């Protein structure tokens, strides 16, 4: 055992292997080798360098988005005329990258905190309810709405009496057509600033977009693809929606600003592309059993009248717009170039491995090739 261990250590430390080059004149093996090398070369050039741009470094942008809506809406409800400006129909008004444009609403004016009959979709609901909850309780469940019940029934309406902001909002009928159809002609201005910190490149609006151009342009995918001013109706249509349908109950649209730039070219060629995607509110969705349709929320305007607090409640139906910036910049760099070349050279070894397997294990003359490929030598040292 001791001699075996000694011989193993001696062989490990005092022997050296070197590759032996054998020129094999075999057409089949030669064709296989060249085909594999050709495929590897095509992969390196076509995929690594041309498609994946393996010779370039990449960076994503740090971006900022500022928005501004313009336009005036007009409504005439029950003979009452109203004019709606940006402060009335945009939520929130700070110019964020995500906001809502009101297109329809249900208004409940002059609400006061007092007791009044609940609005109920089921006749005689209160009589049934009082059998189980005859006493005054806190925040009982009433047709999907949380109210402060008084435990009393209102015979005139056959509904429960509640302590709430009265009169209670009745949102069972949504205005159709939408009250603010004029929103279709509102305009949206998107100001997007990006910085690629790795390359030290900053871009705002492209060079051809100046103040004079902005004052005259309106976005069009073909004629004015760089104009940052968009008509709301065009945004809805480009997202695949119908304006009158989505305006009635609301929905959501995503605007993707795509900055994909090759900085090996002139920086002036780094220009944004706009894409529009309907997120929800699709008019083709006909399933009326969905739990929640469209997009809506409520907000209230509080005021004092005769020393009493009152409010005007609006249930707002609108188009939610989310602006998403996608970015990727590429530029030549020696380090990824050398890495790609080194990886390609390493992959060339696949051809040698495959051909060796064919020679040594598949061909009829495999023993002959083994003897030609491997040579064993021993060195005998003289003992003095």
Contact 192, 63 (CB under 8 A): yes
* 6 is annotated as contributing to ligand binding: no
* 76 is annotated as contributing to ligand binding: no
State both tokens at 232: 């709301």
Contact 191, 115 (CB under 8 A): no
Interhelix angle 27-42/349-357, rounded to 10 degrees, is: 150
Cα–Cα distance list, 135 to 15, 36, 117, 130, 154 (Å): 99, 86, 16, 8, 15
> How many residues are present in the chain?
384
* 27 is annotated as contributing to ligand binding: no
Beta bridge partners, 159, equal 154
What's the sign of the alpha-carbon dihedral 210, 212, 214, 219? negative
* 114 is annotated as contributing to ligand binding: no
* 187 is annotated as contributing to ligand binding: yes
Element containing residue 127 per DSSP (H, E)? helix 125-132
- Strand, coil or helix: what is 218? coil
Contact 358, 32 (CB under 8 A): yes
* 68 is annotated as contributing to ligand binding: yes
* Cβ burial, residue 157 (10 Å; 0-12/13-18/19+): middle
Q: Dmax over Cα atoms in the chain, in whole Å?
A: 127
* 269 is annotated as contributing to ligand binding: no
- Strand, coil or helix: what is 12? helix
Contact 104, 175 (CB under 8 A): yes
* 315 is annotated as contributing to ligand binding: yes
Cα–Cα distance list, 322 to 53, 99, 277, 279 (Å): 31, 7, 10, 10
For the annotated binding site for ATP, the residues are: 68-70, 187, 296-298, 315
For the annotated binding site, the residues are: 68-70, 187, 296-298, 315
């Amino acid at each position: 055992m001791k001699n075996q261990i000694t011989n193993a250590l001696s062989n490990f430390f005092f022997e050296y292997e070197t590759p032996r080059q054998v020129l094999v004149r075999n057409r089949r093996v030669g064709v296989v080798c060249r085909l594999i090398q050709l495929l590897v070369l095509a992969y390196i050039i076509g995929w690594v360098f041309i498609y994946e741009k393996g010779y370039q470094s990449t960076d994503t942008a740090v971006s900022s988005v500022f928005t501004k809506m313009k336009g005036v809406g007009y409504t005439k409800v029950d003979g009452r005329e109203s004019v709606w400006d940006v402060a009335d129909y945009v939520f929130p008004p700070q110019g964020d990258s995500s906001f809502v444009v009101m297109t329809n609403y249900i208004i409940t004016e002059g609400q006061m905190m007092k007791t009044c009959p609940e609005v109920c979709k089921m006749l005689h609901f209160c009589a049934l309810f009082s059998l189980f909850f005859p006493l005054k309780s806190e925040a009982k469940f009433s047709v999907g709405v949380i109210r402060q019940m008084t435990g009393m029934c209102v015979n005139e309406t056959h509904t429960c009496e509640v302590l709430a902001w009265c009169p209670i909002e009745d949102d069972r009928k949504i205005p159709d057509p939408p009250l603010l159809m004029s929103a279709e002609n509102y305009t949206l201005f998107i100001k997007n600033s990006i910085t690629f910190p790795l390359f030290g490149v900053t871009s705002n609006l492209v060079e051809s977009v100046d103040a004079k151009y902005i004052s005259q342009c309106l976005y069009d995918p073909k004629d004015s693809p760089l104009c940052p001013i968009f008509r709301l109706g065009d945004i809805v249509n480009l997202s695949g929606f119908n304006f009158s349908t989505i305006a009635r109950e609301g929905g959501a649209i995503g605007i993707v600003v795509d900055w994909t730039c090759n900085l090996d070219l002139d920086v002036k060629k780094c220009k944004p592309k706009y894409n529009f995607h309907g997120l929800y509110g699709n008019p083709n969705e006909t399933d009326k059993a969905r739990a929640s349709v469209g997009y809506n929320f409520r907000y209230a305007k509080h005021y004092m009248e005769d020393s009493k607090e009152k409010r005007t409640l609006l249930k707002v139906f609108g188009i939610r717009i989310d602006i998403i910036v996608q970015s990727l910049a590429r530029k030549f760099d020696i380090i990824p170039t050398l890495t790609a070349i080194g990886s390609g050279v390493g992959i060339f070894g696949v051809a040698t491995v495959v051909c060796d397997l064919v020679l040594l294990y598949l061909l009829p003359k495999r023993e002959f090739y083994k003897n030609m490929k491997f040579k064993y030598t021993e060195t005998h040292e003289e003992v003095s």
